Structure 1
Amino acid sequence: MLQELNELLDAAPQRPDTGKFTLLRDGGTDGSFLVHHFLSFYLRAGCKVCFLALVQSFSHYNIVAKKLGVSLTAAKERGQLVFLEGLKSCLDLVFGEEEQSGQPSPLQFISGSVSNLKDLFDFVRTSLMPTDNDCWKGRVLLVDDLSVLLSLGAAPVDVLDFIHYCRMVVCSQLKGNIVVLVHGSEDSEDEENKLLVTSLCHHSNLILWVEGLATGFCKDVHGEIKIIKRLSLESTEQDVTQVYQYKIQDKNVTFFARGLSAAVL
């Protein structure tokens, strides 16, 4: 969990938001450090988290989480974390491995037997629905990263439908939160990904957009983050935008105003 980022967002594990959709967007740089932050943040907050990890293995996320003071293994064992390892699920489908549970794979669409993401939505809904002995403070869906679904053959309209139904269940019905990472630079020639990113921006309460420096590589400043807070999704109120630069360290990320890096000063 990145304390400086919490301060910029006016957030704390003791009082997590409810009913919010947060979009993590990166272009020309890697925004995965934001995924690790929100994963550790919501686990510390006592929320139940459904994590659709479509990019890396469980061991990768667990190693980074330990640096941030959280054990994903322990979270899984106590039922707080439901982890979908997308890489393994894809390989199981490609090589014809049968699901031990007898249930269809959440990523069944890549086999060609179905054309939508209903199985993935059912996985999310089942994972986050409250039970009789439920003691979690909230529900969270975390996706790293949504662009992978397009690469696996899902149509943009199916991905947007999936997010729409997830918002209805997680944000509206369960009063939980959704955090999604998607790749998307403004000069990208991928029209499908452009459509996805643009649509998600219109429906997000909070956008964290990280980009590489326009001036190129710098060892003391790794990128720029734009924090866009949507005051209302229904009205035409002006968005609140803040811009900072950042430097990624081994167990932390420091943020500072443009041109105010300690190395520059």
Structure 2
Amino acid sequence: MTAEQAPCPPGAVCALTFLCSVVVLPLLQGRLTLLRDSRTDGSFLVHHFLSFYLRAGCKVCFVALLQSFSHYSIVAQKLGVSLTAAKERGQLVFLEGLKSCLDLVFGEEEEQPGQPSPLLFLSGSPSDLRALFDFVRVSLSAPGSEACAGPVLLLDDLSVLLGLGASPVALLDFIHYCRALVCCQLKGNVVVLVHSREDSEDEENELVVNSLCHHSDLILWAEGLATGFCKDVHGQLKIIQRVSLQQAGEQDLVQIYQYKIQDRNVTFFARGLSAAVL
């Protein structure tokens, strides 16, 4: 804990401690982790996973489709991690999706020979995400970084690719190949954020979400409170350990915590044990 972070209240667990306990097994063995949110914004999980893996010495390929590099950099700075320094030493490969989309649409993309834009599907077949996969493969397979742990693919968020015209089948194929490369071949991790709504009429998005839930080893599902807004409890996080993937007939392990997002941290606590309630 840094000097800038306030101590956790009694009965609560700070984000760093929480992620260490949840992610340490996937970090060693290679897992597909799904970050899912509904009725709330689960992007805080992306920021903490990013800082967690960089602290752990992992080589990270961050496909950022939702925000700019400066946004992620400012948040990471609050968490005690410099994304600029990580990029300079080769530990972080950052794809700024917003800028790449605009450059490609307006013809300002500067492609190097043999290296097409990772988002080439915008000007071609919506079912072809091969260029994006090649970007991930080259980024995580390239030598020369100082990373000392398994590589990580972090994607924020997959729902954006659907909005850009990619087909659900293409997205699921992309994740399948990324999992085979990163988790199986390179012994690393894949972490994906998707947005979902149980009452959504977007059938394609729900198809992708449900399919990813079925194939993920670990699901962190951030949900808004059913009772509405509360200044002391911002939502609940359902943790689903997919035991059934490794042991047929076994039930998945489910834990539910509530959380409060602070400026430089997130605290997790059992339901009903918020400091405001006690």
TM-based fold match above 0.5 = yes
Matches within 5 A, 1:159-174: 159-174=171-186
1:151 aligns with 2:150: no
Identical positions, percent: 73
1:187 Cα deviation after fit: 1.7
2:31 pairs with one of 14, 20, 24? 20
Question: Residue 270 of structure 2 aligns with which residue?
Answer: 257
Give the 3 Å change call, closer, same or farther, for CA 133–27 of structure 1 in structure 2: closer
Question: Residue 261 of structure 2 aligns with which residue?
Answer: 248
Matches within 5 A, 1:1-265: 2-6=15-19, 8-9=21-22, 11=24, 16-102=27-113, 103-112=115-124, 115-131=127-143, 135-234=147-246, 235-265=248-278
Moved over 3 A (4+): 132-135
Counterpart CA distance in 2 for 1:127 and 1:211 is 33
Q: Which moved more, 1:227-236 or 1:121-130?
A: 227-236
Counterpart CA distance in 1 for 2:23 and 2:139 is 29
**Residue deviations 1:127-172, cap 9 Å, x none?**
0015277653111000000000000000000000000000110000
- Alpha carbons 2:259, 2:267 under 8 Å: kept: yes
1:7 Cα deviation after fit: 5.3
Q: Which moved more, 1:99-108 or 1:19-28?
A: 99-108
3-state SS of the aligned residue for 1:251? coil
Counterpart CA distance in 2 for 1:134 and 1:254 is 31
**Residue deviations 1:4-42, cap 9 Å, x none?**
422552639xx9333111000000100000000110011
**Residue deviations 1:203-243, cap 9 Å, x none?**
11100000100000111110010000112415231100000
- Alpha carbons 2:65, 2:96 under 8 Å: kept: yes
3-state SS of the aligned residue for 2:245? coil
- Alpha carbons 1:23, 1:206 under 8 Å: kept: yes
- Alpha carbons 2:158, 2:192 under 8 Å: kept: yes
Question: Residue 4 of structure 2 aligns with which residue?
Answer: none
Counterpart CA distance in 2 for 1:182 and 1:81 is 22
Counterpart CA distance in 2 for 1:255 and 1:204 is 23
CA RMSD, Structure 1 to Structure 2 (Å): 1.8
Counterpart CA distance in 2 for 1:166 and 1:264 is 43
Q: Which amino acid in 2 is paired with 1:263?
A: A
- Alpha carbons 1:19, 1:177 under 8 Å: kept: yes
- Alpha carbons 1:58, 1:85 under 8 Å: kept: yes
TM-score, normalised via structure 1 length: 0.94
Give the 3 Å change call, closer, same or farther, for CA 145–114 of structure 1 in structure 2: closer
3-state SS of the aligned residue for 1:138? strand
Gapped regions of structure 2 (runs ≥ 5):
1-13
Q: Which amino acid in 1 is paired with 2:69?
A: F
TM-score, normalised via structure 2 length: 0.90
Q: Which moved more, 1:103-112 or 1:26-35?
A: 103-112
- Alpha carbons 2:89, 2:146 under 8 Å: kept: no
- Alpha carbons 2:127, 2:169 under 8 Å: kept: no
